[in-house]
Amino acid sequence: MAAKELLRKWMMSTVAVGVFLSLFSGVGAKPQVPCYFIFGDSLVDNGNNNVLQSLARADYLPYGIDFNGGPTGRFSNGKTNVDVIAELLGLDDYIRPYATIRGQDILKGVNYASAAAGIREETGQHLGMRISFSRQVQNHQNTVAKIVDMLGDEKSAANYLSKCLYSIGMGSNDYLNNYFMPQLYSSSRQFSPVEYADVLIESYAQKLRCLYNYGARKMVLFGIGQIGCSPNELAQNSQDGTTCVERINSANQIFNNKLKSLVDQLNKQLSDARFIYINSYGIFQDIINNPSAYCFKVTNAGCCGVGRNNGQITCLPLQIPCENRREYLFWDAYHPTEAGNAIIASRAYSAQSASDAYPIDIRRLAQI
């Protein structure tokens, strides 16, 4: 039995190594998709909030301390999960933010993500300006109009966009910066967790159909991670600072289950498109349950932050973070380290277990 457990842990520990081997093997190879469009929140924002009047910004050190370009607006010490996915797809560079991208570069894809953004318009409003999911979709419509002009006609643009990959990860802030902030938002008094998930999914589905109408055919939907296990929630709502907050995780799972069902629904209704679901929650759970298998020593505290679990607030400007960043799952109160992002991206791209991606993983979706 001990030998079997040792073998299992050894196999799991090869995930991070596999990421980098995959990256090196893809050097010089043709990209698997011509472009990559990204919609989301602070987990994948790479600079769109830099130009907004917002408290949700990461354009200062120590953010980006391990990133080749320094602080860029990424809420991590280094790469985000979509940066690693871009590498795994064989793209020659990371996808640039909508705020600064210009000219022909939009043909490679655009990152529309905005920290504090949610599916609901009011989500995150206490943090200042942010670009909601509906606004991100509107920005993409502007991009598509430019691509039509560049390629000459709508048919050529539609053919081009049908080969591109679309990554969508929304919903975390609708819980973190809305539903579970009853002092600022009324949603938890208006809706039960099941009703709230239904409202979110209905709005989500509407925006996905808009993307479909503007040419999206390969869409990756990232589920919500274990918000109840983040350093912020552990600091505020966990008695021992290590036990995850079940009422929050339970609500997150209700949303995720409905999102997975939406994938089935959309695949039936829009037969010329392919939607897949990434089980971020399950991947996080696996890491937290088996941290040593992934070379992590700390999963309940941020590498950088303030207060209990380093989870009261995000990194302060010029704050000195922990030195052993590779051993931390979380970079700050909410966001993974580059090491954490690499595992999530690796398993989303090439599923390690059957539950990681449904019905197929990103690698297979890119091949279609």
- Full pLDDT tens readout for the chain, 368 residues: 444 444 444 444 444 444 444 444 444 579 999 999 999 999 999 999 999 999 999 999 999 999 999 999 999 999 999 999 999 999 999 999 999 999 999 999 999 999 999 999 999 999 999 999 999 999 999 999 999 999 999 999 999 999 999 999 999 999 999 999 999 999 999 999 999 999 999 999 999 999 999 999 999 999 999 999 999 999 999 999 999 999 999 999 999 999 999 999 999 999 999 999 999 999 999 999 999 999 999 999 999 999 999 988 889 999 999 999 999 999 999 999 999 999 999 999 999 999 999 999 999 999 99
Tokens of 134: 């509906």
Tokens of 46: 């790479």
Count of alpha carbons within 13 angstroms of residue 177, beta-carbon side: 25
Residue 158 DSSP class: H
Domain spans of the chain?
11-367
Residue (of 278, 256, 300) closest to 346 by Cα position: 278
In the prediction, which pLDDT does 8 show? 47
In the prediction, which pLDDT does 312 show? 83
Catalytic residue of the set 230, 335, 356, 361: 335
From CA 110, how far away is CA 364, in angstroms rounded? 22
The CATH number for 11-367, chosen from 3.30.70.20, 3.30.2270.10, 3.60.20.10, 3.40.50.1110, is 3.40.50.1110
How many CB atoms sit inside 10 A of residue 289's CB? 9
In the prediction, which pLDDT does 28 show? 56
CB of 91 closer than 8 Å to CB of 19: no
Catalytic residue of the set 41, 286, 332, 356: 332
Judge whether 335 counts as a catalytic residue.
yes
Tokens of 15: 């995930």
Tokens of 191: 């809706």
Whether this prediction's pTM lies above 0.85 is answered by: yes
CB of 312 closer than 8 Å to CB of 306: yes
In the prediction, which pLDDT does 135 show? 98
How many CB atoms sit inside 10 A of residue 156's CB? 13
CB of 131 closer than 8 Å to CB of 48: yes
